[in-house]
Every structure is written in C-alpha cells, then in structure tokens.
Amino acid sequence: MNSLLRNIIRFIFFILLQVYILDNVPALHKFIIPVIYFLFILWLPFSISRFWLLVIGFFTGLSYDYFTVTPGLHAAACVLIAYFRPFIVNILIPKDTSEFNYSEPSAKAMGWAPYSVYVFALSLLHHGYLLLLEWLEVGNFLDFLIKVVSTTAISMLLIFTAEILFPRRLKYRTNTAY
C-alpha cells in the first residue's frame, strides 16, 4: 500500500479509536487514562521532513481537540513531540545508514531497547506537557506528577500491546535502486 494512503487510514483509525473507544472506557480510577492517538506521530516514516512533521503533528492534535472540545491542548503537545522526535531518533538509531533499512520506527526496525526508550521519551513529553497545561488551569501538583507517571505507563502498555498484537509489515528500504 502507498505510504501516504496508509498513513491517512492510520490517522483516521487512531483518532476514532481514541475518541470512541478509549475515551468511552468506564473510568477505573482518576489516574488511569488510556491515551494512544499520538502513536500515529510515532509511527510516521523516517523520511518525512521536520517541517511537515510539525504540521502533521499540529493537525493530529487539533483534530482530536475538536472531539474533546479543548482547542489547542493536544495540538500543543503533539507539536512538541513532533519537534523532538527527530532528535530522539537521531540519538537512538545507528548513524551508519547503510545498516539501517526500515522506513518507519518500530520495535523491529530499531530493536526493542531503543524503541522502548523512544516510546517512553515521547510519551513522557506528550503527557508531561499536556498535563502541565491542564494543571496550569486547575489542579494540584501531586495529582499532576502521579498522572504523568500513570498515563505514561498506560500509554506505553497500550503501545507495546499494539506493537505485539499488530506487527506491521514494514517496507524494506534497500540501498540499491527501487
């Protein structure tokens, strides 16, 4: 499948999954909030330029914001992780590109340990920033800290579950001609 088409479908899927399934899960506890929609940004191809990554991040967050009626909240968090994504990827993947042949970040492409770090760092950034903005309006500091930890843990759990349950068939980017 075309990469563009696949990402458009993925985008719609993640937004609908988040809005209609995860947001409708009966609340187990006030600290347990399942959030997975930003995995769309984590799964975008490596080849995408930094500028477009920011724009896509902004609109991903904004479309989710329209459903939750919090304009700009998730957009800000998504722009933040879209900005930091290339730095973290650069740190984690081998510099020698001839060894590195996958088109998208995944456990298979990066190895489990670097991928976990990648997911953890971006989840923490996303939730940290998101909850910070929420906390600025209302809230108490201890709740904020616990929420950051618990939502990050739950997001990572969901992302690894998704990674194990639905292995993506990744296009192998060879260094020979296509």
Partner 1 sequence: MRNIFLFIRRYITFISFVLLQILALSMLFRYNKYHRAVFFGKANEITGYVNSQYDNVDDYFHLKEENLRIHKMNDSLLNLLPGNFIKVDTGSHVITDTVAYDTLHMVRKYLAKEAKVVSNSINSQKNYFQINRGSKQGIKDNMAVINSDGSVVGQIVGVSENFSQAMSLLHVQSTVSAMMKKSRNNGRLEWDGQSPLYLTLRNIPKSDSVLRGDTVLTGINSYNYPPGWMIGTVSDIVDDKSTNFYVLRVKPSANFQNLQQVFVIENLQREEQVTLDKTTQKKVDELNKRKQ
Binding site for partner 1 (CB under 8 A): 16, 20, 50-51, 54-55, 57-58, 61-62, 66-67, 69-73, 75-76, 79-80, 83, 133, 137
Pick 99 or 137: Cβ nearer partner 1: 137
Pick 80 or 107: Cβ nearer partner 1: 80
- Report, in Å, the least distance between residue 58 CB and partner 1: 5
The rounded distance, in Å, linking the Cα atoms of 19 and 118 is 25
Pick 126 or 163: Cβ nearer partner 1: 126
| Residue 77: Cβ-neighbour burial (10 angstroms; 0-12, 13-18, 19+) | buried
- Report, in Å, the least distance between residue 111 CB and partner 1: 27
Listed residue (74, 4, 70) closest to 36, CA to CA:
74
Pick 2 or 90: Cβ nearer partner 1: 90
53, 85 Cβ separation under 8 angstroms: yes
The rounded distance, in Å, linking the Cα atoms of 119 and 152 is 10
Listed residue (84, 35, 33, 76) closest to 58, CA to CA:
76
Counted residue by residue, the chain has a size of 178
- Report, in Å, the least distance between residue 75 CB and partner 1: 4
- Report, in Å, the least distance between residue 21 CB and partner 1: 10
